[in-house]
């Protein structure tokens, strides 16, 4: 039996989202791509998230004030115009995800200086109903909200993965390690999970082997 979840997309133009805490980030960054929800902060105050931030000059990231709803916790890699960082997000939309049980932010989420806001949220039927009720209390009436059809998540791939292998291979996928050309490296992944590059390579190899063996067995 698969676990049935639903996916909700919360979207808004830049004009619609201007009244929400977090828009101040656009004074410092052109876009923020949410890669991985790392954890819920204490007292459900918000989310700690791995993000890829695009800027005209990444030096400005260090100037972002706490009242923006963002606090930089750790930098992974930084170039002139792009930074992979871990930060705490405590604006109302993120805080409500943290405060809603069985509700998670998914990787296909971003805020963009030109495009506006796009958050993909996964959760149980009850969780998404609760989240929708909460955001309706703080968002303008014309905020775009779309809820998809039910999706079933079946635990069929790599059932023998350890917790650490699952964490690392999921992170590798989210960061674009398997894209062509690759958007990240084993060293970058190692920095995020705070392991050696060799250990990450070993975990990836074992996880990849388990995935392939599982697929061969099923098909």
Ranked by mean pLDDT, the top range of 22-31, 46-55, 100-109 is 46-55
> What percent of the chain has pLDDT above 70?
81
Neighbours of 78 (CB within 10 A): 16
Instruction: Identify the residue whose tokens are 């800027």.
Output: 55
Q: Are strands 47-54 and 31-40 parallel, antiparallel or unpaired?
A: antiparallel
> What percent of the chain has pLDDT above 90?
32
Tokens matching residue 54: 């695009």
Task: Give Dmax over CA atoms of the chain in angstroms.
Answer: 53
Ranked by mean pLDDT, the top range of 17-21, 126-130, 134-138, 168-172 is 126-130
Q: What does the angle CA 113 – CA 116 – CA 121 come to, to the nearest 5 degrees?
A: 130
> For residue 2, is pLDDT > 50?
no
DSSP letter (8 states) at residue 91: S
Q: In sequence order, which residues have a C-beta less than 8 Å from that of residue 173 and are 6 or more positions away? A: none
Domains of the chain: 3-153 (no CATH), 163-218 (1.10.10)
More confident residue, 124 or 151: 124
pLDDT at residue 148 in the model: 58
Banded model confidence at residue 19, pLDDT cuts 50, 70, 90: low
pLDDT at residue 141 in the model: 67
> For residue 208, is pLDDT > 60?
yes
Average pLDDT over the chain, rounded to an integer: 82
> For residue 1, is pLDDT > 50?
no
CA distances from 199 to 162, 165, 167 (A): 14, 10, 13
Tell which phi-psi region holds residue 89, choosing left (phi > 0), alpha (psi between -120 and 50) or beta: beta
Give the mean model confidence (pLDDT) for residues 51-69: 92
Q: What is the DSSP string of 31-62?
A: EEEEEEEEEEPGGG--EEEEEEEE-S-GGGGG
DSSP letter (8 states) at residue 67: G
Give the mean model confidence (pLDDT) for residues 18-42: 82
pLDDT at residue 186 in the model: 92
Give the mean model confidence (pLDDT) for residues 39-64: 91
Burial per residue of 157-196, b for 16 or more beta-carbon CB atoms within 10 angstroms, e otherwise: ebeebeeebebbbebbebbebeeeeeebebebbbbbeebe
> For residue 90, is pLDDT > 60?
yes
pLDDT tens figures, 157-170: 445 677 788 888 88
Q: What is the DSSP string of 131-155?
A: HHHHHHTTS-TT-EEEE---EEE--
Helices assigned H by DSSP within the chain:
14-17, 92-98, 125-136, 163-175, 186-193, 197-218
pLDDT at residue 21 in the model: 62
pLDDT at residue 56 in the model: 94
What angle do the packed helices 197-218 and 186-193 form, to 10 degrees? 100
pLDDT at residue 147 in the model: 54
């Amino acid at each position: 039996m698969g676990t049935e979840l639903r996916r909700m997309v919360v979207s808004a133009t830049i004009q619609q989202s201007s009244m929400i805490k977090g828009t101040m980030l656009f004074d410092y960054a052109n876009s923020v791509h949410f890669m991985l929800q790392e954890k819920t902060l204490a007292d459900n105050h918000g989310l700690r998230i791995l993000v890829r931030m695009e800027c005209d000059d990444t030096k400005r990231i260090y100037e972002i004030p706490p009242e923006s709803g963002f606090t930089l916790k750790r930098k992974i890699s930084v170039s002139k115009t792009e930074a992979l960082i871990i930060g705490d997000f405590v604006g109302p939309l993120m805080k409500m995800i943290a405060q809603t049980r069985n509700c998670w932010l998914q990787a296909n989420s971003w805020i963009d200086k030109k495009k506006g806001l796009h958050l993909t949220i996964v959760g149980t039927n009850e969780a998404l109903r609760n989240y929708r009720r909460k955001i309706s209390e703080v968002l303008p009436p014309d905020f775009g909200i779309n809820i998809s059809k039910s999706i079933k998540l079946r635990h069929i791939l790599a059932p023998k993965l350890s917790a650490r292998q699952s964490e690392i291979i999921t992170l590798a996928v989210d960061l674009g390690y398997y894209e062509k050309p690759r958007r990240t490296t084993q060293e970058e992944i190692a920095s995020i999970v705070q392991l050696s590059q060799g250990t990450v390579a070993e975990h990836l190899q074992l996880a990849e082997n388990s995935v392939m063996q599982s697929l061969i067995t099923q098909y």
